[in-house]
Structure 1
């Protein structure tokens, strides 16, 4: 029974995104919701200017409908499902506002960093308070050991750091056609397996719904992309994957499953530190995917390589949690 639910979930998530896209993309074009390309980015990206963005709306709709329908088939949606949707849609709303300001109001920077951060913190604190009311464990387990350390009320700061950090890390990864869609599908697929292994079937359903939604979106987001997800999609996916890790008590494992997101973020941090301290750049451009573009790799080669790394990270995480 549960296996059928999982199969129907990924099919439903895929179909909603894939079938909505041909309808939604022309609508975005008519509204002139085209992507603005940063001048300081790779020059090869300038030809992408005007490509419809805010396609993350389709992903969010697919995730929400699929999750509620399929968890309703399995059982009543639980507190964890509502929390996952709160974070996903909350961060997605922040991304939507950011995209709307950039595209419609023609302010290229969108929301200020402070505005975005405050919004992320508010959602993270609400997430924590609901967990606290439901006596959720505030201990962090160290993989490959029997050791856990209790954070107590400091757990709220951990949750803020994890949700904000990974939402921004995933956002940084969204820089090439299909890059984030593919890596997100793999990462959420890994969490679906781990949640299943922990008998947290509702979280497994949610994770599969996300994988299906982004795979359906990938049909139109693969190179050459006909639509971008924008911050509407990337911030939502980042918040969602951090929330899944927290609710399954696999917080540290997220570092492995989200290895690509972590590496992309570290490349930006190292680049900034190096330039500010020595005046030299470590990479030709950060995040890291742009470095490989400027080295001479084709966009498709960079994307497939990063997908492969993401898949290896997912396999490693599953091996650690299931077989070790």
Structure 2
């Protein structure tokens, strides 16, 4: 809408992505800040609370009455801010918005199943969730491969030239990246605010790469892959960052509202989407290092128990391991935030170290 105003008026300021991204940030921030208290009140009246896994550390049992599905609020704010500020005919904005909606719907279905079922295990089965995520990711991958100019080159971090042209295999690779990232953020969302801040850091870092990749002069100067038109997605990312920042006001320890799978699955998928369109699929391992650590801890725990009948950690994901060791919850959260900040600063070094 704002870009449309620029086209029919002399308000040239609305042509700039950075201006519209700033407006999108504050619109989604204020909208989320306004809507969350109303959603909390509604959720409490409807008993839409988070079922707690019975084997989780004892401190978590006290959170059984905390409302969940906060993802509905900040995803709604993100989409509304994007509709106001972005070029809606841009293929990358369309695909990015579709990513948020599709994975958000999967999360909503999972959250509702848990709430109505009354237990953490009554949500979607792992198989059903993976199938739905794969179908959603495949749709996005096909849109990008056949409907955009993204290309199928694979880049490795800190090296300016593509190492391989993936051809049709790019579709399978992008599906894997999106499903993996979606589940990684979901696994991390186990403590108050633990997934929120690393998600903001990841979106900020990838937003820089997406903006530069969509800018002809900057991408050429920094030897980054040029993807024409992709810079418009920065507006969508800024809207989500704004919404998450406002959500953190209520989600920080002790949380008044959980994001639920409706939020975490969508955030992870969109982070992966930004990595794909900026050609940073492999750099995502560093950008989302906290999510990688959490996921690897689960893989190692399951693998060790199945092969050796022994556990490596007291409990997985690894944040529960530190809880059982006696670390205070807020100490675990802040330390993981620090790791996320450091890893993203290292990732941003790739802008010049190429």
TM-score range, shorter chain: over 0.9
Structure 2 distance, partners of 1:77, 1:206, is 13
Local SS of the residue matching 1:48: coil
The answer as to 2:132 corresponding to 1:119 is yes
Residue 102 of structure 1: aligned partner: 114
Q: Are the equivalent residues in 2 in contact too, given 1:92–1:235 (CA < 8 A)?
A: yes
- Matching residue of 1:138: 152
For the residues of structure 2 that align with 1:268 and 1:105, how far apart are their CA atoms? 25
CA contact (8 A) 1:128 1:156 kept: yes
Residue ranges of structure 2 left out of the alignment (5+ in a row): 1-12, 216-229
Report whether the alignment pairs 1:188 with 2:209.
no
Note the C-alpha offset of 1:275: 1.5
CA distance in 1, matches of 2:353, 2:34: 38
Query: Is contact 1:37–1:45 with CA below 8 Å preserved after alignment?
Result: yes
Q: Does 1:6 align with 2:18?
A: no
Moved more, 308-317 or 203-212: 203-212
Partner of residue 188, structure 2: 173
Assess if the C-alpha contact under 8 Å between 2:210 and 2:277 holds in 1. Answer: no
- Report deviation, 1:106: 3.1
**Alignment pair present for 1:251 and 2:287:** no
Q: Deviations over 1:149-194 (max 9, x none)?
A: 1111111211111111110001000000011111111111111122
Q: Report the Cα distance in structure 2 between the residues aligned to 1:161 and 1:132, rounded to whole angstroms.
A: 15
Q: C-alpha deviations, 1:4-45, integer Å up to 9, x for none?
A: 333222222211111111111100111110111111111110
The aligned counterpart of 1:91 is: 103
Q: Structure 1 residues 68 and 322 mapped into 2: Cα distance closer, same or farther (>3 Å)?
A: farther
Q: 1:48 and 2:63 equivalent?
A: yes
Report the Cα distance in structure 1 between the residues aligned to 2:262 and 2:29, rounded to whole angstroms. 18
SS of equivalent to 2:154:
strand
Distance verdict in 2 for CA 1:96–1:76, change over 3 Å: closer
Whole-angstrom distance in 2 between the partners of 1:173 and 1:322: 30
- TM-score of the superposed pair, with normalisation by structure 2: 0.87
Partner of 2:234: 204
Secondary structure, aligned partner of 1:234: helix
- Higher mean displacement: 271-280 or 213-222: 271-280
Q: Which residue of 2 aligns with 1:279?
A: 309
Tell me the CA shift for residue 323 of structure 1: 4.8
Matched, 1:155 2:185: no
Q: Is the 8 A contact 2:106 2:262 kept in 1?
A: yes
Match of residue 266 from structure 1: 296
Is the contact made by 2:88 and 2:94 (CA closer than 8 Å) also made in structure 1?
no
Equivalenced residues, count: 321
**Closer/same/farther in 2, CA of residues 10 and 304 from structure 1, 3 Å limit:** same
C-alpha separation between the residues in 1 aligned to 2:33 and 2:272?
Answer: 25
User: 1:209-246 CA distances to partner (integer Å, 9 max, x unpaired)?
Assistant: 11111111000001110010100000010111111111
Aligned residues of 1:68 and 1:77 also touching (Cα < 8 A): no
Rounded Cα–Cα distance in structure 2 between residues aligned with 1:323 and 1:19: 42
Taking a change above 3 Å as real, the CA distance of residues 108 and 291 of structure 1, as seen in their structure-2 partners, is: closer
Larger Rg: 2
Kept in 1, the 8 Å contact 2:158–2:353? The answer is no
SS in 1 for 2:256: coil
TM value normalised by structure 1: 0.95
